[in-house]
Amino acid sequence: MVQSPAPHVDAYLAELPDDRKVVLTRLRELCRTELKGFTEVMAHGMPAYERDGVAEIAFASQKRYISFYLLRGDVRDAFAERLAGQDMGKGCLRFRKPERVDLDLVRDLLRATATASGPVC
């Protein structure tokens, strides 16, 4: 599933296979807990979290992995050492198996995002 036609996050999660639904539901819970003042939306067919109308975090169930989009360059730079061993593109962490999603790392990235201010890539 690259882009979902789901109109809201509940519908998005409902269409996932069970093994992915569990971890993506947990990602959503973390986002909702840590990203105070952000708005949950569907953007580009995936759940995203916006502040002042700008998406800073998103996640998706892709065909071969689970994606966690970290769209703040300053946060990526601050976590460079912890992200060094991860499968990561410019702004996307990729987890090949649901059980490999590092929820502690994600929580820390969310906390840093919530307190950061600056440009979003």
Q: What tokens appear for 2 in the block? A: 């690259």
Distance CA 55, CA 34 (A): 15
Q: Which residues pair with 90 in a beta bridge?
A: none
pLDDT of residue 110: 98
pLDDT band per the 50, 70, 90 thresholds, residue 120: confident
List, for residues 34-68, the tens digit of each pLDDT value: 999 999 999 999 999 999 999 999 999 999 999 99
Walk across the sheet containing 54-61 and list its strands.
39-43, 46-51, 54-61, 66-70, 92-95
Task: State pTM to two decimals.
Answer: 0.94
Q: For residues 2 and 92, which has the higher predicted lDDT (pLDDT)? A: 92
Number of H helices, E strands in the chain: 5, 5
Q: Render the burial of 19-52: b for 16+ CB within 10 Å, e for the rest.
A: ebbebbeebbebbeebbeebeeebeeebbbbbbe
Helix (H) or strand (E) holding 67: strand 66-70
pLDDT of residue 2: 60
List, for residues 4-25, the tens digit of each pLDDT value: 999 999 999 999 999 999 999 9
pLDDT of residue 1: 44
Question: CATH top-level class for 9-114?
Answer: alpha beta
List, for residues 66-113, the tens digit of each pLDDT value: 999 999 999 999 999 999 989 998 889 999 999 999 999 999 999 999
